[in-house]
Amino acid sequence: MPALTEPKLITGNSNKPLANSIARRMSMHRGMNVGLVDARVERFNDAEIFVEVFENVRGEDMFIIQSTSKPANDHLMELLIMADALQRSSAGRITAVIPYFGYARQDRRTKARTPISAKLVANMLTRAGIERVLTMDLHAAQIQGFFDIPVDNLYAAPIFALDIQHHFGDMDDVMIISPDVGGVARARELAKRINAPLAIVDKRREKPGEVAEMTVIGDVTGKRCIIVDDLCDTAGTLCKAAEVLMDAGATEVHSYITHGVMSGPAVERVTNSVMKSLVITDTIEPTQAILDCPNIRVVPTAPVFAQGILNIWNGTSVSSLFETETLVPIYEGFYSKG
């Protein structure tokens, strides 16, 4: 049954441009102004976070837009405190829209005496009063099972499929590449959408963050290769994989990465790499260095998040947004034919 109240959006400090873009898209869909709830999310002198909501939210369907990106702990605490403020203000339902879910890489115990931090974060979000989560490209699908509340995990693959079809033209020589064995399912999903073959770069790590050896599984000779992954942190592995592919006979290497964490020397590495382009989404607010980089391009996620929020509010299917065909009208204007 459709909700009687209008959806209301509130945001922290992690990605205000994306929150504003989502609000604008929802305004277009609703034919009426959908703004961000007036609130302040700030810090005391000792960096303690304080939240104050200036509007009445009693009984409202609230959506908190907040990525838990760098600084992850600050943005996570903002999200938790905003949820607590809304719950104590008698909000009707609180949905956390988390475009980038931090701590997702800690989804299992890799060795003795280590935590499963993704589960801990899930517990904290639930205890803070959040009743539903909307996110994109979780690092591991099983994280949805860490929650005892509904979790809608959107996919960047249909957006990437639209972008590739728009920018690459003839697809005969395009090949999708998984940068490791663990990412094969994600890469295969995109390959099926654009009807392209698949190859794998098998990597062996000596220790976290350092790759000892890479081998290409599959023939990439004469192919325009597209590396697909969920996140890029320091870009060391990504740039090394591009070199290995070029050495194996690829004509060009491009990368499509959902979450551009881009820590430390990442932008410099991409700028100096053999990659022709790196495409990321705006789930994490891009820095000025990223925006200025000539071979990095940012594609918007506001259209799909806006539609996802409206579908949750209306009680309609969110899984319909998994299909490329569904996103064509949503992204009209971004990827117009001709």
pLDDT in tens, 130-175: 999 999 999 998 999 999 999 999 999 999 999 999 999 889 999 9
287 assigned ligand-binding residue: no
Answer yes or no: do 149 and 161 share one domain. no
Omega of the bond leading into 71 within 30 degrees of 0 (cis): yes
What is the total count of domains within the chain?
Answer: 2
Answer yes or no: do 169 and 295 share one domain. yes
pLDDT for 214: 87
**Which of 61-75, 99-113, 321-335 shows the lowest per-residue confidence on average (mean pLDDT)?**
321-335
Q: Could you give the CA distance from residue 162 to residue 330 in angstroms, rounded to a whole number?
A: 11
Using DSSP bridges, classify how beta strands 61-65 and 93-98 pair: parallel, antiparallel or unpaired.
Answer: parallel
180 assigned ligand-binding residue: yes
Pull the structure tokens for residue 335: 């990827």
Percentage of the chain modeled with pLDDT above 90: 84
Answer yes or no: do 171 and 291 share one domain. yes
235 assigned ligand-binding residue: yes
Residue 71 clears pLDDT 70, i.e. is over it: yes
Answer yes or no: do 179 and 118 share one domain. no
Phi-psi group of 281: left, alpha or beta (phi > 0 → left; psi -120 to 50 → alpha; rest → beta): beta
46 assigned ligand-binding residue: yes
What is the reported pTM? Answer: 0.94
Question: Taking residues 194-209, what's their average pLDDT?
Answer: 80
Task: Quote the strand ranges of the chain, DSSP E.
Answer: 7-11, 39-43, 49-53, 61-65, 93-98, 132-136, 151-154, 174-178, 198-207, 210-217, 224-232, 252-260, 277-281, 296-299
Q: Please report whether residue 2 resides in a domain.
A: no
Q: Which one is catalytic: 203, 207, 223, 337?
A: 203
Q: Please report whether residue 338 resides in a domain.
A: no
237 assigned ligand-binding residue: yes
pLDDT for 2: 46
Q: Please report whether residue 221 resides in a domain.
A: yes
167 assigned ligand-binding residue: no
Answer yes or no: do 95 and 41 share one domain. yes
Answer yes or no: do 249 and 276 share one domain. yes
48 assigned ligand-binding residue: yes
Tens-place pLDDT, residues 38-53? 999 999 999 999 999 9
Answer yes or no: do 29 and 131 share one domain. yes
Residue 203 is among the residues annotated as catalytic for this protein: yes
Tens-place pLDDT, residues 212-262? 688 899 999 999 999 999 999 999 989 999 999 999 999 999 999 999 999
- Name the DSSP class of 183: G
Domain holding 66, by residue range, is: 7-155+302-330
Q: Could you give the CA distance from residue 282 to residue 302 in angstroms, rounded to a whole number?
A: 8
Pull the structure tokens for residue 199: 């190859």
SS3 content of the chain, % helix, strand, coil (to 5): 35, 25, 40
Tens-place pLDDT, residues 250-307? 999 999 999 999 999 999 999 999 999 999 999 999 999 999 999 999 999 999 999 9
Answer yes or no: do 175 and 255 share one domain. yes
137 assigned ligand-binding residue: no
Q: Please report whether residue 295 resides in a domain.
A: yes
Question: Taking residues 98-125, what's their average pLDDT?
Answer: 95
Q: Sign of the CA dihedral 30, 33, 36, 37?
A: negative
pLDDT for 211: 58
CATH classification at residue 178: 3.40.50.2020
Q: Please report whether residue 171 resides in a domain.
A: yes
> How far, in whole angstroms, is CA 305 from its chain's centroid?
10
Q: Which pLDDT band holds residue 338 (cuts at 50, 70, 90)? A: very low
